[in-house]
Amino acid sequence: MFVTLSAAVTADGFMDDRTPRRLLVSTPEDMAEVYRLRAGHDAILAGAETLRRDNPALLLRDPEARRRRTELGLRPDLAKITLTSSGNLDPSMRFFTEGDADIYVFSSRSLPHLKGVAEVIPADTPLSARAIVTELEKRGIRRLFVEGGARVLRMFLAEGMADTLRLAVNPALRLGEEGRAHFAFASSSDIPCKHERFGGMEVTQWQLKPDTAETDLHYLRMAVAESRKCTPCATSYCVGAIIVACDGAVFRGYTHETSPTHHAEQEAIAKALAAGADLRGAAIYSSMEPCSQRASEPESCTQLILRHGFAHVAFALYEPDRFACCRGALTLREAGVDVRFRPELADEVRAANAHL
């Protein structure tokens, strides 16, 4: 998933003041640009505190963008997401009542008052950006626009789950002791960024992660080709895997290539180790999400990937809940591995597993 963080702050770094009224930090020109950026995403997220304080509708305002979505068979508005620890969400909020969109609420509590209003997704405490991204990917969200509040933005940054950050500063507005919800980003010279101005707002956009899409898809196509070498089996998926070591060496594997209990990642790792490859910092590309549970082997593919120190994992299809409830992607993310989901090739992976 591609995640954009967006925030507007005063010159002294506050997103809001201490009055009950909503503080408008952005200028109209900057808000128009934010609306334009929203339209390039599948979903928009704001924390429950922001909903309670500002009561936003979070609608897609561009009529042309709404028309294009409708023509593609999509709901006119972006999917709307929020997260709550307390469960204190009123179903009469504009977030729930305005627009035509799928609505998701992440909560560690049961929320019967939202039945029929939103899909409530069970979440652990504390709430995690890694888990949110993983669950939204499973629901078809590819591009997520995160608008806050400050704690939500900091959570995505701290967990490394943001691709870009757009920070708009209003140099004419200072709050001092009246400010609340402080948000700042400690940049460094090695993070690419660009600067713009919109109606007096000073905007900086940082590229927090490199764009790996082209490379991921190249090797995932190779992994899908490997998966087609599998002999279909009623008790396992046909999966292919490609390893690219830091020195550029490439190793391939597919399910049951040398053993009736080996998975694709296991086969590719065994070849790399036999060749003396150093896998720490390497990348592995699997046509399907690496497994997190094994009955026939002492380690799952996820455990193997972590033990050997892989830095980057890409896959094209989440493992269906047929043989086990897989949480490979989330486990890898929780361990700090850069995990990329590339659903562009998902149909090809499904075709390779048409026997199941």
pLDDT per residue as tens digits for the range 65-82: 889 888 988 889 999 999
pLDDT over 90 at 61, yes or no: no
Residues 6+ apart with CB under 8 A from 79: 42, 43, 44, 101, 102, 103, 104, 141
How far apart, in Å, are the Cα atoms of 322 and each of 238, 311, 325, 342, 354? 14, 28, 8, 21, 13
Vertex 171 angle, CA 166 and 177, to 5°: 100
DSSP assignment of 85-104 equals SS----TTSHHHHSSS--EE
338: confidence class by pLDDT, cuts 50, 70, 90? very high
pLDDT at 206: 97
pLDDT over 90 at 136, yes or no: yes
- pLDDT-above-90 percentage for the chain: 88
What are the tens digits of pLDDT across the range 78-116? 999 999 999 999 999 999 999 999 999 999 999 999 999
Dihedrals phi, psi of 198, to nearest 5 degrees: -135, 105
pLDDT over 90 at 165, yes or no: yes
pLDDT at 148: 86
> Could you tell me which of 100, 91, 103 has the C-alpha nearest to residue 60?
100
pLDDT at 21: 85
Instruction: Give, rounded to a whole angstrom, the gap between the first and last alpha carbons of the chain.
Output: 27
| Mean pLDDT on 199-203 | 96
Sign, CA dihedral 36-40-43-45, equals negative
245: confidence class by pLDDT, cuts 50, 70, 90? very high
- pLDDT-above-70 percentage for the chain: 100
Q: Give the chain's count of helices (H) and strands (E).
A: 11, 16
Q: Is the peptide bond before 149 cis (omega within 30 degrees of 0)?
A: yes
Q: What is the mean pLDDT of the chain?
A: 95
What are the tens digits of pLDDT across the range 279-323? 999 999 999 999 999 888 899 999 999 999 999 999 999 999 888
Q: Are strands 283-286 and 240-244 parallel, antiparallel or unpaired?
A: antiparallel
pLDDT at 296: 85
237: confidence class by pLDDT, cuts 50, 70, 90? very high
22-26, 152-156, 166-170, 287-291: lowest mean pLDDT where?
22-26
pLDDT at 62: 85
Two tokens, residue 310: 């892989």
What are the tens digits of pLDDT across the range 2-23? 999 999 999 999 999 999 888 8
Coil, helix or strand at residue 326:
coil
pLDDT at 323: 86
CATH number of 2-207: 3.40.430.10
pLDDT at 271: 98
- pTM, whole model, 2 decimals? 0.94
The structural architecture, per CATH, of the domain 213-352 is 3-Layer(aba) Sandwich (3.40)
Q: Domains of the chain: which residue ranges?
A: 2-207, 213-352
How far apart, in Å, are the Cα atoms of 91 and each of 78, 116, 137? 18, 10, 25
